[in-house]
């Protein structure tokens, strides 16, 4: 009998069609809140699935007590999976590093331009019958400096786009060969500061860092709300020290409409649009499906998240 898979992440492309020839699939990619481990374990048991492909569901505890053949995580990192336990139980976990690098980089560029050129404000004003462009003059990005905190796949994808606009690129990432500056130096010189470090890095930008930033600078975070201090950001904006901000992620993926940021014209807010492209789905589908085929054929996967995993 073919092994059965519970697939809760959106999948598309040729590799998906090929994998479905080898396995039976219970496909439920509809938008839903992430399943907690107990709920996910019940769904796996009810469907008789030994393969799990997930995006944000909790893969821990009772889920890993099941005789799973493989877990596919449709993310750049398998942060929702208890990797030590999966490894100890011999369950390979495959993920899709860099799946959304271009998608997030494009959104980063869009957010920077939206803030600096007041695109969202101008759109609202035109819809209200207002057309006073003189109030919205801005500096061009060409010739200015962007500071990238984190220089993984997304950071690199952002860098060449910024260079294409004529910007100088500064990098702070102790793991990257391109790291040339301390964080304080980058913050003091950059006209735009954009965060691209993994969420696991914890809070990197707080009151001290915002105060260190160049007056009038723009702050952008498309990664995770936990990487910056929201109250400190609001304070820096209200004080006029920062020129604007753009955020794509919020705690709990929700922002109270009464939050101070919602009333600021120099702030652009989007609902986790970064990885939301069809291309991202094609990318993670390709990497995950190819690795599952390898595992089913007794080969080692290429994108294994388990540390020092041995089959």
Q: What's the confidence (pLDDT) of residue 311?
A: 55
Instruction: Assess whether pLDDT exceeds 80 at residue 30.
Output: no
Query: What pLDDT shows up at residue 200?
Result: 83
Rounded mean pLDDT of the chain? 94
Please give the residue that has the higher pLDDT: either 309 or 19. Answer: 19
The per-residue pLDDT for 52 is: 98
- Of 121-125, 185-189, 203-207, 276-280, the poorest mean pLDDT is in 121-125
Q: What is the pLDDT of residues 133-151, one digit of tens each?
A: 778 889 999 999 999 999 9
**CA dist., res. 129 & res. 290, Å (int):** 53
- 263-307 pLDDT, tens digit each: 999 999 999 999 999 999 999 999 999 999 999 999 999 999 998
Start-to-end C-alpha separation, the chain? 22
In this model, does residue 158 exceed pLDDT 80? Answer: yes
> Token pair of 59, please?
């893969």
Compute the average pLDDT of residues 161-171.
98
**Band (23; pLDDT cuts 50, 70, 90):** very high
How sure is the predictor about 202, in pLDDT bands with cuts at 50, 70 and 90?
Answer: confident
Spatial neighbors of 198 by CB under 8 A, at least 6 apart, are 77, 150, 152, 223
Contact present, 261 and 231 (Cβ < 8 Å): no
What local confidence, expressed as pLDDT, does residue 168 receive?
98
Average the pLDDT over 172-191 and give the result.
95
Residues assigned a catalytic role: 253, 272
Give the model's confidence band at 310: pLDDT under 50 very low, under 70 low, under 90 confident, else very high: low
Dist. CA 160–CA 135, nearest whole Å: 31
Separation CA 287–CA 266 (nearest Å): 39
**Average pLDDT of span 36-44:** 97
Q: What is the pLDDT of residue 153?
A: 96
CA 40, 101, 242 angle in degrees (round to 5)? 105
Give the pLDDT score at 308: 77
Q: What is the mean pLDDT of residues 185-205?
A: 94
Closest residue by Cα to residue 68 from 150, 158, 6, 148: 6
């Amino acid at each position: 009998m073919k092994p059965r898979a519970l697939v809760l992440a959106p999948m598309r492309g040729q590799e998906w069609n090929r994998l479905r020839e080898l396995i039976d699939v219970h496909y439920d990619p509809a938008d839903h809140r992430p399943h907690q481990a107990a709920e996910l374990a019940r769904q796996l048991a009810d469907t008789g699935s030994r393969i799990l492909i997930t995006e944000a569901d909790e893969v821990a505890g009772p889920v890993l007590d099941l005789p799973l053949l493989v877990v596919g995580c449709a993310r750049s990192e398998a942060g929702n999976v208890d990797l030590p336990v999966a490894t100890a139980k011999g369950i390979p976990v495959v993920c899709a590093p860099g799946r959304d690098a271009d998608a997030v980089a494009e959104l980063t560029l869009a957010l920077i331009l939206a803030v600096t050129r007041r695109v969202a404000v101008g759109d609202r004003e035109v819809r209200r019958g207002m057309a006073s462009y003189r109030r919205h003059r801005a500096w061009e990005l060409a010739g200015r400096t962007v500071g990238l905190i984190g220089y993984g796949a997304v950071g690199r994808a952002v860098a060449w786009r910024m260079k294409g606009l004529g910007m100088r690129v500064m990098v702070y990432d102790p793991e990257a060969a391109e790291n040339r500056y301390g964080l304080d130096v980058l913050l003091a010189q950059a006209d735009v500061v954009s965060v691209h470090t993994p969420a696991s890095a914890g809070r990197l930008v707080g009151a001290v860092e915002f105060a260190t930033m160049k007056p009038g600078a723009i702050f952008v975070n498309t990664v995770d709300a936990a990487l910056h201090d929201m109250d400190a950001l609001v304070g820096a904006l209200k004080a006029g020290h920062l020129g604007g901000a753009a955020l794509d992620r919020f705690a709990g993926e929700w922002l109270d409409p009464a939050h101070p940021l919602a009333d600021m014209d120099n702030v652009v807010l989007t609902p986790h649009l970064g990885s939301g492209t069809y291309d991202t789905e094609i990318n993670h589908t390709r990497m995950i499906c190819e690795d599952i085929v390898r595992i089913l054929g007794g080969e080692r996967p290429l994108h294994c998240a388990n540390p020092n995993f041995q089959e």
